[in-house]
Structure 1
Amino acid sequence: MLAAVVAGCASPVEPAASSSSSRATTTTTPVNVYEQQRASGVQRTLDELSTALRDGDANRVDALLDAATAPAFRARMRDTAVNFSGSAVRAEAASRSTTPTTPATASRAPSSPSRSRIARPSGSPTTSAPVPPRGTALRLDDFRYQVAPTTEAEILVPPDLQQRLDEQGSSDSWVAPIELRYALGGASTPGVDEPDVVVDMQLVMARYGDDWTVVGDASAIGGDPAPTQLWDLPGLGATDVSTAGGTSVIASYPDTAVVVERARELVPGSVDAVTAFWGDDWPRRAVLVATARPAEFSALARSAGTDVAAAAAATVYSRVDSDDDVAVGQRVVLTPSAARFSAAALGVVLRHELTHVAARVVTAAGAPLWITEGVPEYVGRKGTYVRFADAAPDLAVAVDAGQLPTDLPADADFAVDSDTARIAYQSAWSVAAYVADRFGEDRLRELYLGVAATDDPARQGEAIADALGISRAELVAGWRRWLTTQVR
C-alpha cells in the first residue's frame, strides 16, 4: 500500500524577492542618469549570462562571474550550463554497455546489388547507438534574467564584501533586483508550452570600467539564496510524452531511469483517467520530476522538513493567474521512494497528483484537506481495489474495532510525519468514495468545486448543501453508516 503523499502537496514554491541580511544597510536614491546607465550596463551582462547559460557555454559563464564569487554559486551556475548543454545525459547514455550480437547471416554474400558488397566477418559484433535512458537536455521556450523595476530602498553591499571588491578594482557595486523569466519546453520545443514563470531574486553585481560581473545572489550579502530551479541540480535530463492536451515532460536526475521509463508509460493513461472524472477544462499535460536523492526533492518541493521516506510526491506551483484561470509553473515532484513503487502503485500516485494539477485553479489556499486530498485519492485509487480494506486497510481495522471517525479529518491529521496521516488520507478517500457511491461522481466534482473554493467553514457548509442537498452533520452521519457497511 502506498505511503501518504506529502501534506499540502499543491503549494506555491516561488517566494518573493529574497530578503537580505539584517546587517545590510539601506539608502534611498532618486532615479537619475547614473542609475539608468548602471541598469543598462548590468542588463548587458545579464543578457550575456542568459545566452551563455542557455547555450551551455560553461566557460563563458565562468568569465562573467566575479573573482569574489562564492564557490557554491559558481558551481551552481556551472551545473546550469552543463545541464543545458546536454553533456551530462549524453555521457550517461554513452556509459551504458551495448550487447554485441552475431547475426546468423553475417558472413553471407549480399543477395542483391543494393546491399553492400563487403561481407561482415563472422563473429564481428554489431552495436546500436546508445539510447539515453532519461532522454536528452531540457530545452526552454524562454530563459532570461532582467533588471526588475523597483521603488524600494537600495540595499548596500556589506562592508567586508565591498572592501574585497574595492581591492579588486571595482568602481561600483549594486544589489540589483532581478527577475528570472523562463518557460519550459521539454526535450524539444515548444514542449509543454507553458506561460512564463517569473522568479524574483537579487544579484550582487560589480563594475570594472564599462563592464559588470556577477558576484552572487542574495546569499552573498547574508540573505536567502535564489530558489532552486530544475537546472540548478546536476545531471538534469528530459523526455517528452504525448498526452491528450499536448506534450508532457518528465524531467529527471541520475539513477531515476527505471522511474522515468514507468512514468513514460503511465502518464498518458493517467491524464485520461483524471479527465474522465474532472472533464477536459484543464491543460491535460504536465511536468513531472523524478528525483533520486532526498536533497533533490527537498530543494525542488521547498519541503526541507518533510519525511521523504514516508512521502510519495508533491505538486507545487508558482502562481495562479485568476484572470486567465491558469496555474503557472505546476510541477509534480516524485520523491526517491517512487523507485520502490510497482507500476500499479506509481499509477495511483500519478493520478492523485495530476488531479491536483487539474483542480489547482479552483482550489483556495485554505481549502480543507479532507476534500482537496480526498478527491485526488479517490481518482488515484479508482479501479485498483476489490475490497474496501484493500484501499483503506488502517481505516478498515479501526472501523472493524468500533473506532469510527467522529468527524471529517482535520488538516493537522494529514502531516506526513504524524501518526494520524495514514488514517487521515484513507478517511478522506472514503468520504469521496461514499459521496461517489451515494450521489454519483458528478456530484462529487460539484462538492469539490464548492468546498475547495473557500477557506470559510460557513461557506463550505453551504457548498455541501448545494452539491448534495444535506448538511455537513448529515454528510458525516451518512458517511459513518456507509463505513460500517463496507467493513462488515
Structure 2
Amino acid sequence: MTMRVLPALLLAVALVAGGCSNDDYVAPRPPGTSDVADPVTAAATVAAVQDAIAAGDGDAAGALGADADASTLLAALVANAGALRLGDVTLRYVTETGRTSGSDGWDGQVALTWRVEGFDAASARTEVPFSFADGGATIAAVGAGQGRLPLWLGGPLDVRRAGQVLVAAAEPAQARRYLPAARRALEQVRAVVGGDTGLVVEVPADSAGLHRALGVEPGRYDTIAAITAPVDGVAVEGSPIHVFLDRPVYDGLDPVAAQVVMTHEAVHAVTAAPLAQRAPMWLVEGFADYVALRDVDLPTSRTAGQIARQVRADGLPDALPATSDFDPAASHLGAVYEAAWLVCVTLADHRGEGALVDLYRQVLEGDDFAAALRAGFGWSERDLTSAWRDRLADVADVGR
C-alpha cells in the first residue's frame, strides 16, 4: 500500500492502496476459537441489521443494541444509509477475532459492502469489527479498536446535497459549511476537464475520525487539510473515491486557501487520480494545482514562493520532481509541489490548456508519458525539463 501526502495549504493527499479483486474476498483465519462465540446467532443478528437498513427501520435496528448507546448507534446507521441513499448495503458475519468480553460477549469481523447511489460506480468493501453481547443476539459496539471505520458507521451524520455534490459531516449542522466550496470546486474542475462525475466530501469530526475513516495509524495526517482516497482503501478500477477533510487543519485556512484545497481534491476525485499507477506524481499533483489555481488571483510569490527560495539557495534542479520527492517525510515538501505546478504551467504555456488536459488524461489512462509528451507537445522529457528550468529561473530571478 502506498500513501501520498500533500501540504496543508495548497495541496491534498492521494492515498492509493492495493488489495484483492472485486470478486475475491479472503477472510482472515481466526486466531483461535472460543466457547463464548456463537457464529450462527451472530450471523442472524448481522443479517437483521442489514434488513433494518434495507427497510429504513431504525427502531428494528435499535432493538438489536446491547444497551442504550448501542441502540442509538444502530438506529443512526439506518438514518445515515437513508440520508446518503446507500445502495448495495450488505453485512455478513465472517469470523471471530479472539477477543472476548465476559461470559457471552466477543468481537467478530463483519464484511460490508455499500455505495452512494448516483455517485459511486461500484461498491466499496471492507471488514469492520462488531462487538457482540448476549451470546451474539445483540450488538454492543461497532468498530471497536483500530482499523478502518467508514464514516457512516461511526455515528449520526449531517448530509447535504446540491446537484451532483454531496457533503456528509459527523458533526451536527456542519455539512452546509462545506457545501459551497465543494460546489465551486466541481464547477472549476468541470470547466477544465469536463465530464459529469459527481463529488462526495466526507467530514469526520476530528483528526482521529479521519484516521479511522481511512484505516491508518493515528497521527499520520494530523497536519494535512484534506485527502482524496478510495473509500475502502482498495485501488482497483471503479473504486469509489471521496474527498476527506481534516477539520482542524482545513478550518484553519483562509477562504482562498480552503477553496484551493477543495478544488485540488476535486480534481483527484473526479479524474480518479488515486487509481493511476503509471502517471508521474508531479503530473498528478501539478495538474490538480493547475486547475485549483487557474482562476485564483494570487501572486507568484505566494504560489511559488517556496520553490523560488529553494532555487535561490540551492540552484536550479537537474530533473523533474521524482516520486520519492513527494514522500511526506521529505524536506522542502511545499517547494516540491510548487515545482510540480510550474511544470504544468510550462506545458500549458507551450501548447495550451487543452494539450495539457489531453496529456493528463492519456497518462492517467495508462499511456506512456514520453510518447504522449512527444505527440502532444513535440518535446522530449529533456526538452520539458529545460523549459521548466527556464521558468524556475524567471520565478526565482536567477540566471541559468
TM-score, with structure 1 as normaliser: 0.65
Shift of 1:312: 1.5
Per the alignment, residue 383 of structure 1 pairs with 295
Contact 1:434-1:482 at 8 Å conserved across structures? yes
1:195-274 correspondence runs (5 A):
195-201=121-127, 213=137, 227-242=148-163, 247-254=164-171, 257=174, 260-274=175-189
Root-mean-square deviation over aligned CA pairs: 4.1
Distance in 2, matches of 1:413 and 1:305, equals: 23
**What are the residue-to-residue correspondences of 1:10-49 with 2, within 5 Å?**
10-12=15-17, 19-20=28-29, 23-24=31-32, 44-49=44-49
For 2:75, the equivalent position in structure 1 comes to 81
- Verify: 1:296 aligned to 2:209, yes or no: yes
Residue 254 (structure 1) shift:
2.2
Q: Is the Cα contact below 8 Å between 1:315 and 1:332 reproduced in 2?
A: yes
Whole-Å Cα distance in 2 between the matches of residues 403 and 348 of structure 1? 28
Residue by residue over 1:378-418, the C-alpha shift from the partner in whole angstroms, topping out at 9 and shown as x without a partner, is 11111213532221111122234462222111222223343
Specify the alignment match of 1:61 in structure 2: 64
1:433 maps to which of 307, 321, 345: 345
Residue 24 of structure 1 aligns with an amino acid whose one-letter code is: G
Q: Which shows bigger deviation, 365-374 or 394-403?
A: 394-403
Matches within 5 A, 1:32-431: 44-52=44-52, 54-57=56-59, 59-62=62-65, 78-82=72-76, 84-85=78-79, 138-142=83-87, 144-147=89-92, 161=100, 164=103, 179-184=111-116, 192-201=118-127, 213=137, 227-242=148-163, 247-254=164-171, 257=174, 260-280=175-195, 282-283=196-197, 285-304=198-217, 307-317=220-230, 318=232, 322=237, 327-336=238-247, 337-360=249-272, 363-401=275-313, 403-431=315-343
Deviations 1:6-46 (A, max 9, x none): 54x1434988656345x437xxxxxxxxxxxx97x776533
Gaps of 5+ in 2: 1-6, 34-38
- Structure 1 contact 352–376 (Cα < 8 Å) conserved: yes
> Matched residues in 2 for 1:397 and 1:444: separation?
27
Q: Percent identity?
A: 19
User: CA 1:395–1:174 in structure 2 vs 1: closer, same or farther (change >3 Å)?
Assistant: closer
Alpha-carbon distance in structure 1 between the residues aligned to 2:266 and 2:352: 21
Are the structure 2 counterparts of residues 335 and 273 from structure 1 closer, same or farther at C-alpha, using a change threshold of 3 Å? same
- CA offsets, 1:45-82, max 9 Å, x none? 3331123455333541215x9xxxxxxxx967753433
Of residues 53-62 and 290-299 in structure 1, the stretch that sits farther from structure 2 once superposed is 53-62
Secondary structure at 1:328 match in 2:
coil
For 1:387 and 1:314, locate their aligned partners in 2 and report how far apart those are by CA, in whole Å: 26
Deviation at 1:444, TM superposition (A): 0.9
- Change in Cα spacing, 1:45 to 1:179, as seen in structure 2 (3 Å) is same
TM-score, reference length from structure 2: 0.77
- Asked whether the 8 Å contact 2:62–2:70 carries over to 1, the reply is no
Once residues 309 and 362 of structure 1 are traced to their aligned partners in structure 2, the CA distance between those partners, rounded to angstroms, is 20
User: Does the 8 Å CA contact 1:194/1:329 hold for their aligned counterparts?
Assistant: yes
Bigger shift: residues 11-20 or 476-485 = 11-20
- Tell me the CA shift for residue 360 of structure 1: 1.1
Alpha-carbon distance in 2 for matches of 1:477, 1:364: 26
- In the alignment, residue 272 of structure 1 is paired with which amino acid? E
Equivalent pairs, count:
377
Q: Note closer, same or farther for the CA distance 1:365–1:473 as it changes in structure 2 (3 Å cut).
A: same
**Aligned match of 1:467:** 376
Structure 1 gaps, min length 5: 26-37, 66-73, 87-135, 149-153, 186-191
**Alignment-mate amino acid for residue 32 of structure 2:** A
Flag the structure with larger Rg: 1
